[in-house]
Chain A
């Protein structure tokens, strides 16, 4: 069955970096675009980034553009989100999801705090 498992969250100081991972299984990963969505504590869903099935195109939310980078390794069935220059307002549960959100990970919590 289709599974996506997020990992890599933790507590980090403002200005530092963190890399999230998302391990996919149960489907042909290299055939699907993948996305990151986040949810700040007690808030709604915010779309973050998308990457095409072959990595050829990427789009970002304005709030993370220039600081976050989405990437993938199709040989490892893994999606990544490199987060640099983290801000307090980046604190959220980060979910990876298959294209258009038909499958979601369980989420990984990123807390940015001094």
Chain B
């Protein structure tokens, strides 16, 4: 199975400051169709996950533009340009290129 490794696992941030989460895969996530199926999710306490970013860098509908995704191959990053209070929670990356799909361990974002 493809192992997804996120860092850091805990990220204390100051409101209004940027934040960055890394996600590395044990194999390339480039699929035979040329697409890279790496997605990002956010889960607030007690809620279902919500997808933020699909295929590396595409924001889902309604996702604020302070969220951005980048990367290629095995190295990916989720950035929040200016953290707001509602951004607390756990962020997960998910690879959809290889079966079975696999999630990263999660990165807990909290306000300092």
Contacts and interface: CB of A to CB of B under 8 A. Distances in A.
Given A105-B48, A106-B48, A44 B100 contact: no
Interface in B38-54: 39, 41, 43, 48-51, 54
A35 B99 CA distance: 13
A14 B92 CA distance: 30
The bracket for how many chain B residues form the interface is 20 to 34
B50 A104 contact: yes
Interface residues of A, number: 19
B92 A45 contact: yes
Contacts of A45: 41, 43, 49, 92, 94, 103, 106
A107 B54 CA distance: 22
B110 to A, nearest CB: 16
B41 A101 contact: yes
B65 interface: no
Contacts, number: 50
B37 A47 contact: no
A54 B101 CA distance: 19
A61 B94 CA distance: 14
18 contacts: A44-B105, A45-B49, A45-B94, A46-B103, A47-B94, A47-B100, A47-B102, A47-B103, A59-B99, A59-B100, A95-B48, A95-B49, A100-B39, A100-B54, A101-B39, A101-B49, A105-B48, A107-B48
Given A46-B103, A60-B100, 12 more contacts: A37-B49, A44-B90, A44-B105, A47-B101, A47-B102, A50-B101, A59-B99, A61-B100, A62-B1, A101-B39, A101-B41, A102-B54
